[in-house]
Structure 1
Amino acid sequence: MVALSSFGQRLRELRRLAGLTIEELSEASGVSARAISDMERGRSRAPQARTLSALADALGLDGSDRARLVEWTRSRRSESAVGRPRGGELPRSVREFVGRVPELRLLRRHGTAGSDDGPTPVVVVHGPPGVGKTTFAVHAAGQLRDRFVDGQLHVDLRGTDAAPMDAGEALTRLLRALDVSPRAIADDEAERAGQLRAVLRRRRCLLVLDNAASEAQVRPLLPGAGAGLVVVTSRRTLGGLEGVLRIGLPPLAPVESAGLLRALVRDLADRATAQDVEAVARLCGHLPLALRIAGTRLASRPEWTMAHLAARLSDADRRLAGLAVGDLGVEPAFALSYAQLPGPARAMFRRLAHVPGVDFAAPLAAVLTGTGPHDAEDQLEELVELGLLQPVGFDRYRFHDLIRLFAEKRLRDEEPADTRSATGHRMTDWLLETAIVAGRWFEPGFGAPPADWRGLVPLDTAERAQSWLQVEADNWLAALRGAAAAGQHQRVVDVAESMHWYSDRMTHWGHWSEVYQLSSAAAARLPDRRQEITHINYHAWAQAVCGRRYDDSAALAMDAYRLAGELGDIGEQANALSYAGDAWRFAGDYGRALWAYCRAQELADSAGNHDEFVQMGLGVGLALIGLGRFDEALAELRTVLREVDTRPVAPSPKNAAQVVARVFSARALAELRRWPEAIEEATAVLPAATGFGALTPLGHLHLALGRAYAALGSTEEARGHLVRAGELFEEGGAREGATELARSALAALDV
């Protein structure tokens, strides 16, 4: 075959000899029809080796014809490249790449969906500093190399610099990398953007626009139509870009982090224990940048062990300094985002380090900064946008562990000690004040907040109050610890007192023993001895109901009983005996529990404590159930229901007594095998018990329904109630006997 002076002419001749149209050659080779047409007409450069190989395969070339075409194209490319160095090559990929399987799959699927005439797919890869966005993009580009045969280009937009690259400069770099002559590149930025779109429309190229600062920087660089792909990486989500796929990269999963460490330091990792590898991965926050730095440090210090590095990183004050090697460091990566924040957002970022819990919401951030909740929310979203905070659910936020350490360092370095102290006290005071108001929703004699309440969170319903207490539990509990350590004894007692009735609804929360241990210790330092008795009793309740330390609970309650006797306070004696009765009943000592409840009921009646009187009636009924005296238990529980209606019982304990009495009346009816009556009673009280929220009584209600339906032959209905009973017992931390009853009844259905 005679050599031709034009590659385009040669390509056209070969295509015609193969009997192919441009469209058929495009389909066979994967090279766009527009690109083939431009080659044949001499409007584009000689193709890259991958493109040439795809065309040669589609044309069926082999032997000398293929070799001559390859050699001719190589010489033409060399000639055209003299004096014009190419730019835009992808950065060096890393050998040790782990994880990101779902994200890679999503990007590949989206990236191969483009067509010559449709819009070019665009993917925005975003995430916090150090999460590996560039590494991910380069690795994905490598996997897609065969798809984008006309080239893969990269440009660092320097989005974290003080002066990011402007779009005009980025356009020039991309056009030159695409072999557009510098003399042909337009001076006007808009015209330059049009040139880039025109070139990319004809080519199957992948563009990596790395480290983008903003939507305005990226928009002019995006192609219009074409079968290419654009991958944008940014610390921001770039929410203003329309019609793009966003892939957020979180830190690696623990198993992936361990895998990356082992890949980075193979020989050392082989000698390390799994616990040491997992410890280093955890202390690195599973952040790829931190993991790579840790691996590099180990590789450069062969005398170190994984356990040695874990010990060094375990010191929180030194961890950020330890995660630095050469010109790489975790702290500088965070500092680049911090530097981009306006002053108020910087102040919020560092002051959020005061938050003791794992997560928080806008009102707490507003307290720390002295702003309104709406302004605080805007600043929190700015921190999320830059990857310095992680959103949690609808309206809460949290730090990555290493970013929290960075915020703490910024707080120490940038704010004087007296300012830090004042901010911390303001946060603690607000948390405890709000906790008291929320907890009192459930206290007899309180309910809704006072008319002059001007809190930052809405507490106008009991549901909202309970929700706040639950989601902010870690934070207000930490504030309570701080108040106890600071000697604010009355404040500690006031918070615990406000939680008394609320804690009955939330017995499965694991910290009531600590709350009431703090309050009883605080009350012992105050002059009012009756407060001390009350909070010793609360502590006894928590030890039994929440901690299952029944002997400790009974001992505390009897201490309170003796102290109340010394003061002549029969009301507190009644309370103490009631808590002792609970401890003995939970331990299975029903006879002693029955004595305690009966004596406590007599004392409560003589003291005129109607709330306690009906509660002791419930205790008597439950102790009788434990003794197997079900007829007597049913009669006692029905007496409780009558007494509740005739005595001036406060609303909250009245509701509790009514629900619990009816729940265990259904239980007693089931034990007596009065199945229809058990179903009728349980069905009637089910809505009220569900609204009451205590999980264990609700579990007993479903247990009674399940047993009754099973006895009456309604197997599937019985199964549903028994499964639900087991779930409620497990979630509510019920004692094993209750859970076993549900399991046994469920197993009996399959016999």
Structure 2
Amino acid sequence: MLRRHRHAARLTLEQLAEASGVSARTLSDMERGRSKGPQHRTVTALADALGLADADRKQLVELAREGRLRDHWARPTGLCELPRSVDDFTGRVAGLAWTRELLRAGDAPGAAGVGLITGSAGLGKTTLAIHAAHALRPDFPDGVFFLDLFGMSPRPLPVDDALGMLLRALGIADQQIPGDVTERASLYRSLLRDRRVLIVLDNAAFEEQVRPLLPGGGAGKALVSSRRLLAGLEGVRRLALGPLPLLEATELLTGILKDRGAPDEGSAVGQLAQLCGGLPLALRIAGNRLVSRPSWNAADLAARLTNEERRLDQLSAGDLKIATAFGLSYEQLATSTRRLFRRLALVPGRNFDAALAAVVGGTSIEEAWNALDELVDLGLLQDRTSERYRFHDLVRLFARDRLQQEEPAAERDALTVTMTSWLLRMATTAGRWFEPGYGDPGQADPDAAELSSAEKADHWLRVNADNWLGALRHGASIGRFTAVLDCAESMDWFSDRWMHAPHWYEVFTLGAEAAAALGDPARQAAQLNMLAWVHLLPREDPETTLRYTAQAIDLATRSGATTQIALAHHHAGGALRRLGRLDEAIAAETQAAQIHLANGDIDRYCHSLGALGTCLRDAGHHTKALEQYLDLLALLNDDRSGMTPSVAAIIRPIALARVGECLGLLGHRAEAIIKLTEAISLMEQVQLPVPQAHSLETLAVLLAEEDRTGESCHAYARAAEVYEAIGDADASSRCRDLANAAP
């Protein structure tokens, strides 16, 4: 047909070549039947040069397309064939939807043609890419090809070899493949431009390996998977895989086990899925082990995996080993980064920052940042918000195994002591920020420069709670009693800011035991008083509070620690009030106030006055209680009282709220609402969530009694939010129900 149209146009081969820009040799190959499926752009250039009408033009283009399809199906088989997809593929619904959207996008300029799937070892990146490619095969009639780039190998697949393999798979004969890498890449991109082809590039090593293998635009698409982030790749859409949620992990494991003769308990399968940490590779290994051993059951294997020391060894089935998968990534690291990676297994908490990493690794903060970036890039660490990092549970076990194998026990112990000392020192410095009149505790410690304000100290203590608490435990176990006691004592005032944190019982128990080991009854009494507080407020166990205060009074009396005697009476007063023994409570709080006043401790004196007012209120002496609180407010507002301003700032809104409560009880609701509203605003400023929540609930009741229903519902809703934030789910639910109950 091409020869007929050329003759009709009265053109020689050379003239048509000049007019179309297609070489005379290519034209000759086409007319002699050696090239039966020329590329689309070649055919359209010839049609333009020949001036073909619509019907003739369409016929020529269609014949060329049919020839290309014949060439495709006649190409050698077995080159870059897509591996089979697993039958029990489960989950990854969002990832599959993302892949469909990406690969079915149009060919318009700017349309994404390359998807990059990243994640750590064992997350199923390859499995997802292969499954998606099989599902989308009908959308790519010109072929779906797969190439392993061996990114985790010591010798990743060279770019020229990769291009050669793909060109052969696309039907290019060896003698037609250019020797130069640039020319190979150009030919490769030209073939992909007009072909509906999907290229799956698995296990990519680095950007320079991948770039020449990507389509340059047009019909061809590509999916790339890599353990590395490949942050330098431009013009690609990214999908970061994480572990499977527990439900999907359980479904995957159930699917693998569906053909087993012996049924497994659902709870045991769920526990097994949880122990695999949502890693599809670990789930596959666990499932395969059970399938290949019919006499086993999920509960037996779960029991084996519960032992952390043996978990990695148990996650092995034939040539599938979870430790091997992690080991490939580990071997990619620089020597210094490998050292930091394994030493991070010593960190007691679930996450950490670069400062702690630098201490553990014995490096500068800048070196720690670089190493952490490398670990995140390879998926061996997960980076969290606020520049914090964490291990996957199984990766942590791998790091611990590497540490035990590669570093002597003496060095490990020394590192643990160094880390423990640093964490205790930092926690103690941070806690001191909240002690009245302490000043800036970070000035004397250059390592604590990041604790340059009370707000930063508060944040550090909260986000590092698991770490410094772990250090407290370890310090106690190795006899560092002075450091442990100093740390526990520094939490006295901070614990009021984070009252419902779950660890205060352990903190002050360790403190009391350390004081006893040091033979210091006065400091032991102080820690027992803190344990009394824990059972009085966060735990609401007044009987246990009274047992601790009795012990504290005995120790404090023997050592002459009058402050601790007064504090014990104060806590006992709170417990007696909750038990309804109000006369005894009033006597205890009165005694505490008298001792504090005699000691000249105005801060604690004011605490006791406030508690005495609460006892009077609960005893029904509302007018006396109101007078008590008004006297307390006057003292708080007296610049000559000698009270620490920071302590006054905390007690003032509580006293103001109590004034509002008493006014409400006396029937002065409008005035009570004003006082409570002011108190709640102050509580929010100084971060007192527990009394704020209680005051919001009281305010809501008063507003409802005044028929201010909308405002009451709003106050209940705010109380529900604050209760939820401090972890009081029951109170939050109660207030939310009341907020929604109004018509």
Same fold (TM over 0.5): yes
- Paired AA for residue 504 in structure 2: W
The answer to whether structure 1 residue 172 and structure 2 residue 178 are counterparts is no
Alpha-carbon distance, 1:747 to partner: 7.2
Whole-angstrom CA distance in 1 between matches of 2:738 and 2:338: 59
Pairing 1:149-298 to 2, within 5 Å after superposition: 149-268=141-260, 271-298=263-290
Alpha-carbon distance, 1:686 to partner: 3.1
Report the counterpart of residue 430 of structure 1 in structure 2.
422
Alpha-carbon distance, 1:188 to partner: 0.8
Q: How many residues align?
A: 697
Alpha-carbon distance, 1:449 to partner: 2.2
* 8 Å contact kept, 1:237–1:246: no
Residues 120 and 445 from structure 1, CA distance in 2 versus in 1: closer, same or farther, beyond 3 angstroms?
A: closer
- Tell me whether 280-289 or 686-695 shows the greater mean CA deviation: 686-695
Which residue, out of 490, 515, 519, partners 1:523?
A: 515
The answer to whether structure 1 residue 682 and structure 2 residue 676 are counterparts is yes
The answer to whether structure 1 residue 714 and structure 2 residue 708 are counterparts is yes
* 8 Å contact kept, 1:373–1:456: no
The answer to whether structure 1 residue 544 and structure 2 residue 536 are counterparts is yes
Report the counterpart of residue 80 of structure 2 in structure 1.
88
Report the counterpart of residue 314 of structure 1 in structure 2.
306
Report the counterpart of residue 10 of structure 2 in structure 1.
none
* 8 Å contact kept, 1:666–1:704: no
Report the counterpart of residue 508 of structure 1 in structure 2.
500
1:506-535: CA deviation from partner (whole Å, max 9, x where unpaired): 101011111111111111122332111111
Pairing 1:369-408 to 2, within 5 Å after superposition: 369-408=361-400
- Tell me whether 705-714 or 523-532 shows the greater mean CA deviation: 705-714
- Tell me whether 741-750 or 182-191 shows the greater mean CA deviation: 741-750
Report the counterpart of residue 613 of structure 2 in structure 1.
621
Pairing 1:309-388 to 2, within 5 Å after superposition: 309-388=301-380
Residues 649 and 337 from structure 1, CA distance in 2 versus in 1: closer, same or farther, beyond 3 angstroms?
A: same
- Paired AA for residue 98 in structure 2: L
Whole-angstrom CA distance in 1 between matches of 2:531 and 2:428: 18
* 8 Å contact kept, 1:193–1:221: yes
Q: What SS does the corresponding residue of 1:46 show, helix, strand or coil?
A: helix
Q: What SS does the corresponding residue of 1:455 show, helix, strand or coil?
A: helix
* 8 Å contact kept, 1:120–1:224: no
Alpha-carbon distance, 1:334 to partner: 0.5
Report the counterpart of residue 14 of structure 2 in structure 1.
none
Pairing 1:561-580 to 2, within 5 Å after superposition: 561-580=553-572
1:480-512: CA deviation from partner (whole Å, max 9, x where unpaired): 011111122221111011110000111010111
Whole-angstrom CA distance in 2 between matches of 1:651 and 1:103: 55
Whole-angstrom CA distance in 1 between matches of 2:108 and 2:716: 60
1:272-294: CA deviation from partner (whole Å, max 9, x where unpaired): 11111011111211211111111
* 8 Å contact kept, 1:268–1:306: no
Whole-angstrom CA distance in 2 between matches of 1:23 and 1:615: 95
- Paired AA for residue 697 in structure 1: P
- Paired AA for residue 340 in structure 1: Q
Q: TM-score, normalised by structure 2?
A: 0.89
Alpha-carbon distance, 1:744 to partner: 8.6
Report the counterpart of residue 655 of structure 2 in structure 1.
661
1:437-480: CA deviation from partner (whole Å, max 9, x where unpaired): 10000001313224332125511111000000000000000100
Residues 20 and 272 from structure 1, CA distance in 2 versus in 1: closer, same or farther, beyond 3 angstroms?
A: farther
1:181-221: CA deviation from partner (whole Å, max 9, x where unpaired): 11111111011000001001110000000000011100001
Which residue, out of 693, 700, 703, partners 2:694?
A: 700
Whole-angstrom CA distance in 2 between matches of 1:748 and 1:159: 60
- Tell me whether 683-692 or 428-437 shows the greater mean CA deviation: 683-692
Which residue, out of 594, 604, 608, partners 1:612?
A: 604
Whole-angstrom CA distance in 2 between matches of 1:542 and 1:478: 20
Whole-angstrom CA distance in 2 between matches of 1:240 and 1:544: 57
Alpha-carbon distance, 1:22 to partner: 10
- Paired AA for residue 530 in structure 2: Y
- Tell me whether 219-228 or 561-570 shows the greater mean CA deviation: 561-570
Pairing 1:487-498 to 2, within 5 Å after superposition: 487-498=479-490
Residues 566 and 21 from structure 1, CA distance in 2 versus in 1: closer, same or farther, beyond 3 angstroms?
A: farther
- Tell me whether 196-205 or 324-333 shows the greater mean CA deviation: 324-333
Alpha-carbon distance, 1:119 to partner: 5.5
* 8 Å contact kept, 1:7–1:39: no
Residues 263 and 745 from structure 1, CA distance in 2 versus in 1: closer, same or farther, beyond 3 angstroms?
A: closer
Whole-angstrom CA distance in 2 between matches of 1:671 and 1:236: 65
Which residue, out of 301, 305, 312, partners 2:297?
A: 305
Task: Point out where structure 1 has 5 or more consecutive residues left out of the alignment.
Answer: 13-18, 26-32, 50-76
* 8 Å contact kept, 2:262–2:297: no
Whole-angstrom CA distance in 2 between matches of 1:652 and 1:677: 27
Whole-angstrom CA distance in 2 between matches of 1:710 and 1:551: 35
Whole-angstrom CA distance in 2 between matches of 1:397 and 1:484: 27
Whole-angstrom CA distance in 2 between matches of 1:747 and 1:148: 54
The answer to whether structure 1 residue 46 and structure 2 residue 70 are counterparts is yes
Which residue, out of 629, 632, 642, partners 1:640?
A: 632
The answer to whether structure 1 residue 532 and structure 2 residue 558 are counterparts is no
Task: Point out where structure 2 has 5 or more consecutive residues left out of the alignment.
Answer: 1-31, 44-52
Whole-angstrom CA distance in 1 between matches of 2:94 and 2:198: 20
Residues 739 and 155 from structure 1, CA distance in 2 versus in 1: closer, same or farther, beyond 3 angstroms?
A: closer
Pairing 1:124-139 to 2, within 5 Å after superposition: 124-139=116-131
Residues 627 and 112 from structure 1, CA distance in 2 versus in 1: closer, same or farther, beyond 3 angstroms?
A: same
Q: TM-score, normalised by structure 1?
A: 0.88
* 8 Å contact kept, 2:149–2:202: yes
Q: What SS does the corresponding residue of 1:93 show, helix, strand or coil?
A: coil
Alpha-carbon distance, 1:151 to partner: 0.4
Q: What SS does the corresponding residue of 1:146 show, helix, strand or coil?
A: helix
The answer to whether structure 1 residue 724 and structure 2 residue 735 are counterparts is no
- Tell me whether 572-581 or 171-180 shows the greater mean CA deviation: 572-581
Alpha-carbon distance, 1:110 to partner: 1.3
- Paired AA for residue 342 in structure 2: R
Report the counterpart of residue 590 of structure 2 in structure 1.
598
Alpha-carbon distance, 1:37 to partner: 6.7
- Paired AA for residue 39 in structure 1: R
- Paired AA for residue 568 in structure 2: A
Whole-angstrom CA distance in 2 between matches of 1:565 and 1:452: 35
Residues 138 and 742 from structure 1, CA distance in 2 versus in 1: closer, same or farther, beyond 3 angstroms?
A: closer
* 8 Å contact kept, 1:262–1:270: no
Q: What SS does the corresponding residue of 1:90 show, helix, strand or coil?
A: coil
Report the counterpart of residue 105 of structure 2 in structure 1.
113
- Paired AA for residue 474 in structure 1: D
Whole-angstrom CA distance in 1 between matches of 2:98 and 2:63: 32
Residues 741 and 615 from structure 1, CA distance in 2 versus in 1: closer, same or farther, beyond 3 angstroms?
A: farther
* 8 Å contact kept, 1:679–1:704: no
- Paired AA for residue 725 in structure 1: A
Pairing 1:449-460 to 2, within 5 Å after superposition: 449-455=441-447, 458-460=450-452
Whole-angstrom CA distance in 2 between matches of 1:85 and 1:743: 66
Residues 241 and 531 from structure 1, CA distance in 2 versus in 1: closer, same or farther, beyond 3 angstroms?
A: same
Q: What SS does the corresponding residue of 1:266 show, helix, strand or coil?
A: coil
- Tell me whether 405-414 or 269-278 shows the greater mean CA deviation: 269-278
- Paired AA for residue 722 in structure 2: L
